[in-house]
Structure 1
Amino acid sequence: MDFGLTADHEKLIESVRTFGRQHFTFENVSQWRRDGGLPDEVVRDFVNLDFNGFGVIHRRDHRDYDLVAQVLVLEELARVSGATLPFPNDFLNLQIMEEFADTDEFSFVRAQYQNEGRLAFALAISEPEGGSDTMSMRTSTRTVDGRLILSGRKTFVNNGEFAPYLLVAAVDQDAPQGKYPALSLWLVPHNLPGIEVYPIKKTGQSMLPFSDVVFKDVRLDENYRLHGKRTGFPQLFHLFELGRLFSCATALGLAQAAMEDAVGYARRRTAFGTNIANFQVIEQMLVDMEVKLENMRNAVYKAAWMLDDGADAKATRLAVALAKRYVPRAATEVASDALQVFGGRGYTCSERVSFIWEDCRGFQIAEGTDQIMVYIAAPLLMDKYAALAEEDRA
C-alpha cells in the first residue's frame, strides 16, 4: 500500500501552487468575490498551464484520463485561493459534454475553452421542484405542428446569465419512455426567443453567478441536440459522481486553507501573556481539525483512485457517496472551528475564514445533499455486508 503521490502529481501541484500564489492574493480574491467572477487573464493563464499530460483538460481517449490529477488540482486551487472557483464546474461540464456529444460537438467546446479559458455554455439540469429527484424532470421537448418546442424551468444554473449557450437536459416527449424517461441534452443558443434568465443571490460561493432560466415554448433546431452514443439518465447519474468528488476536493482545499490560517493566527495572537496556541483548548481544537482533514483527504483520494482504477461500480459509487456525505460536513466544521480560533475577527471581512465557512456550507447541498448521500449509500452498504456474510458462511 503506497500513500505517496507520484513525481508527476507533485510537479502538477507545484505548478498550480505557483499559479495560485501569483493570482490569488487576499486583495484580488476579495475583489473578485465582489465582481462575481474571475477576470479573463486569470482563466486564460489557468488553461495555459501544462495540464494536458494529466487529462485535466479532457481528451476523447479515456486512457489519458486521470481523476486523481484533477482532484489534486482542485484541492490546491481551493487551498491557495481560499475560495470556490469556477474550475470544478468547468471540469464537470466538460466531462458531461464529452460523454453526451459526438467528436465534432465536443471538439468545438474544448477548443473554445482552451483558447479563452471560459466554457461556451452553462449547464442547466437542476429544477426548482425536482432538486435531488432528477428523474422527476419536467423540462421537456415535444413536436408541435412539425416544430420542436422546449418548455420548462431550470435553477442554480452557473453562469446562466452570461454564457452564449445553455446545455439543457430535457425529457424527450416524442421518444418512447422506458424504465427511465427519455433524456436528451441540447446545446441551445442563449439568445433564442422565449428564454428568460433571473439571477439568484446566494450566501456564499460568490464567484459562481447562479440563475433561474425559464424556457417558454422555445423553438429548437434538431441540430441543437447532442449526438453522442452515451446518453440517458444512467450515464448522467455516473457523471454526477464526478461532480460530487470535485465538490469534495474543493471543500477539502478550503478546509485546509482555514486550518493553515487558524494555526498561523494562533501562533501570532497573544492573550494572558502567551500565544493562544499554547492554550490546551486551542490545541485540542487544532488537533481535532487535523484529524478531520486527514480523514477527508483519505476519503477523497481513495474514491478518485477507485474510479481511475476501474474498481467495481457499486464499490466506487459507495466510496463517492460516503465521501460526499462526510467531507463537506467535516470541512464546514473545520472552517467553523477556524473561525472560532480567530474570535470576533474571524466574523469580519478582514479575514477569509468567514468566507471559507460560507463556501464549505454550500457543498453540503450542492451536487447531492448530505441526506441524499445516505439514501444512495445505505442500500449499497446492505449489499456489501450481505455479500460478506455469504462469504463467511461459504
Structure 2
Amino acid sequence: MALDFSLTDEQELLVESIKEFCERNFDEDKIVEMYNNRGASDELTKAYLETGMGLMGIPEEYGGIPADRVTLGLLTEEISHYAGCVTPFMNNTLAMCDMIDFGNERQIKQCMEGYMSTGKPIFSLGFSEPGAGSDNQNMSTVTTKQADGTYRLNGQKTWVTQGESFPYVFVVAKDEDPSRENRKMSMWLLPKDAEGVSVSKLHKRGQQILPFCEMFFDDVVLTEDMRVGKEGEGFINLMKNYEMERCLVVAMVLGCAQAAMDDAAAYVSKRETFGKPIASYQLIQEKLTDMEIALRNTRNMLYKTLWKIDRGESVRIDSALLKRYGCQQCAWVASEAMQIFGGLGFTTELRVGRIWADLRGCQFAAGTDEIMVYIAGRQLAKAYAQD
C-alpha cells in the first residue's frame, strides 16, 4: 500500500487557522499573564471554541465536529507550536470526551452547556493519589454505602489539573473496600463546594497555565444520581482513553519542542563569536542535527500511532513507546535549545527555558517514562517470544 504523508486540503486550512489564532492570542506578554494568573481566561477558551477547534473530536450529536485521530494530533501539535507553550485546550477536550464516553444524558447535557458557555469543562479530573499515580490499583479513596441509600466519600486526590478553577470534580473511588486487592471502582461527579471537600494548591516548576492542586474528601455525601457510568467499572473506564491521551500529550510536547527549535536554529545565524556566526561551528551543527532527528522521529512515531488508532488497530505497545521516547526527546530538544542560547537561555527573557520546564513535566503526565517500560516491555517480550 502506498504511503501518503501529505496533508489534506482541510488539514492545511486547519493549520493556517491555528497559526492565525495563535498570532492573535499568544504573545509573550499574554503568556506571562496567563502564567501569573494560573490559567487561561474565559475569553481565550471561548474564542478557541468559537473557531470550531474546541469542538473537534466531540461527537456531532452533542454539537461537536467529527475528526479523525490524525487530525486531532495535528491540531494539538500546531497549537502548541504556534503558541509556544503548553495550553489548556487538549486537556479540556479530553475531559469532555471522558464525560461523553461515560456519563448519562443528563450529565452530558449539563457539562456540554457549561463547556459551550466558556470553552472550559465544568469539572476537573480527580484520578491520581499520593500513593497511586501510575499504580491505579493502589488507590485508597473509597465510597461506603449508607443505610439511607447515600454514599460517603473519603480520601485524597492529588495533581488535580485545574481543580482549583472548576466548580465540579470527576472522581474515581473504590467501592466499599480501600484495599489494594479491590479492583471495583466507580466514577462520580460532585460539586467542589460540597460539605467535606477541601482544596490545597500545589506549585509546579512549569505548566502554570495548567495548575494543579490536592483535594481532600471527608465524609462527603454522594447520591446515586452523581454516579458516572456503571457501578464497579471505574477502573476499566479509567484505562480506556489512556492510549489516546498519551498520543496527544506527545503531540503537545512535540509542538512546544518545535517552537524551541525554531528559536534556537534562527539564533545561530545571528549570534557571532570570534568574528563568525556560531552556525559555522561543527558542534552547533551537531546539536541542530540531533535535535532535528529527535523531532522527526517523534513526529513519525506519533502520526503512525494515530493512523493505527484510526484503523482500529491495537496501539498498546506503540503508545507506550511513543510516550517514553517522545517526551524524553522533546524535553531534551528544549534543553539543547537553552544550551545554544547559553546563559541567555536560562533567563526569563526567552521562552526556551519556560518551554523546557513545561516539557519536563510531561515525562510524568499520563504515565511516567518508567511505567511506559513496564507497559511496553512485557508486551514486547511476548511479541518476540519464540515458539
Relative distance call for 1:231 and 1:12 in structure 2 (3 A) is farther
Alignment counterpart, residue 133 of structure 1, candidates 126, 135, 143: 135
Measured in 2, the distance between the counterparts of 1:110 and 1:20 equals 25
Task: Give the SS at the match of 1:155.
Answer: strand
Number of residues paired by the alignment?
383
Measured in 1, the distance between the counterparts of 2:244 and 2:187 equals 18
Q: 1:299 aligns to what?
A: 301
Higher alpha-carbon deviation: 165-174 or 369-378: 165-174
Does residue 357 (structure 1) correspond to residue 356 (structure 2)? The answer is: yes
Give 1:343-382 correspondences, 5 Å limit.
343-382=342-381
Deviation of 1:55 after TM superposition, in Å, equals 3.6
Measured in 2, the distance between the counterparts of 1:210 and 1:221 equals 27
Q: Which amino acid aligns with 1:249?
A: A
Q: 1:145 aligns to what?
A: 147
Relative distance call for 1:50 and 1:160 in structure 2 (3 A) is closer
Deviation of 1:29 after TM superposition, in Å, equals 0.9
Task: Give the SS at the match of 2:170.
Answer: strand
Deviation of 1:179 after TM superposition, in Å, equals 8.7
Q: Is the 8 A contact 2:270 2:277 kept in 1?
A: yes
Q: Which amino acid aligns with 1:373?
A: M
Task: Give the SS at the match of 2:125.
Answer: strand
Task: Give the SS at the match of 2:173.
Answer: strand
Deviation of 1:127 after TM superposition, in Å, equals 0.4
Deviation of 1:2 after TM superposition, in Å, equals 1.4
Q: Which amino acid aligns with 1:156?
A: W
Task: Give the SS at the match of 1:268.
Answer: coil
Higher alpha-carbon deviation: 23-32 or 327-336: 23-32
Deviation of 1:174 after TM superposition, in Å, equals 8.1
Measured in 1, the distance between the counterparts of 2:165 and 2:276 equals 52
Relative distance call for 1:69 and 1:103 in structure 2 (3 A) is farther
Q: 2:38 aligns to what?
A: 36
Task: Give the SS at the match of 2:29.
Answer: helix
Relative distance call for 1:89 and 1:51 in structure 2 (3 A) is closer
Q: Is the 8 A contact 2:142 2:177 kept in 1?
A: no
Q: 1:334 aligns to what?
A: 333
Q: Is the 8 A contact 1:36 1:206 kept in 2?
A: yes
Q: Is the 8 A contact 2:160 2:214 kept in 1?
A: yes
Higher alpha-carbon deviation: 4-13 or 160-169: 4-13
Give 1:225-264 correspondences, 5 Å limit.
225-227=227-229, 231-264=233-266
Does residue 22 (structure 1) correspond to residue 24 (structure 2)? The answer is: yes
Q: Is the 8 A contact 1:195 1:213 kept in 2?
A: yes
Higher alpha-carbon deviation: 235-244 or 12-21: 235-244
Q: 1:289 aligns to what?
A: 291
- 1:166-185 Cα offsets, whole Å, 9 max, x none, are 1111112289x999722211
Does residue 116 (structure 1) correspond to residue 118 (structure 2)? The answer is: yes
Q: 2:191 aligns to what?
A: 189
Measured in 2, the distance between the counterparts of 1:172 and 1:59 equals 34
Q: 1:383 aligns to what?
A: 382
Measured in 1, the distance between the counterparts of 2:225 and 2:250 equals 36
Percent of aligned positions that are identical? 37
Measured in 1, the distance between the counterparts of 2:182 and 2:108 equals 25
Relative distance call for 1:253 and 1:185 in structure 2 (3 A) is same
Q: Which amino acid aligns with 2:154?
A: S
Task: Give the SS at the match of 1:106.
Answer: helix
Q: Which amino acid aligns with 1:57?
A: I
Measured in 2, the distance between the counterparts of 1:385 and 1:95 equals 35
Task: Give the SS at the match of 1:107.
Answer: helix
Does residue 48 (structure 1) correspond to residue 50 (structure 2)? The answer is: yes
Measured in 2, the distance between the counterparts of 1:229 and 1:71 equals 32
Deviation of 1:232 after TM superposition, in Å, equals 3.3
Measured in 1, the distance between the counterparts of 2:237 and 2:361 equals 25
Measured in 2, the distance between the counterparts of 1:49 and 1:364 equals 31
Relative distance call for 1:254 and 1:72 in structure 2 (3 A) is same
Measured in 2, the distance between the counterparts of 1:60 and 1:231 equals 25
Q: Is the 8 A contact 2:253 2:327 kept in 1?
A: yes
TM-score with structure 1 setting the length: 0.92
Measured in 2, the distance between the counterparts of 1:85 and 1:320 equals 22
Q: Is the 8 A contact 2:80 2:252 kept in 1?
A: yes
Task: Give the SS at the match of 2:153.
Answer: strand
Q: 2:58 aligns to what?
A: 57
Q: Is the 8 A contact 2:172 2:234 kept in 1?
A: no
Q: Is the 8 A contact 1:102 1:229 kept in 2?
A: no
Alignment counterpart, residue 210 of structure 1, candidates 195, 205, 212: 212
Task: Give the SS at the match of 1:187.
Answer: strand
Relative distance call for 1:237 and 1:80 in structure 2 (3 A) is same
Measured in 1, the distance between the counterparts of 2:124 and 2:32 equals 24
Relative distance call for 1:249 and 1:6 in structure 2 (3 A) is same
Q: Is the 8 A contact 1:55 1:66 kept in 2?
A: no
Give 1:84-99 correspondences, 5 Å limit.
84-99=86-101
Higher alpha-carbon deviation: 353-362 or 181-190: 181-190
Alignment counterpart, residue 308 of structure 1, candidates 307, 310, 320: 310
Relative distance call for 1:230 and 1:269 in structure 2 (3 A) is farther
Q: Which amino acid aligns with 1:167?
A: F
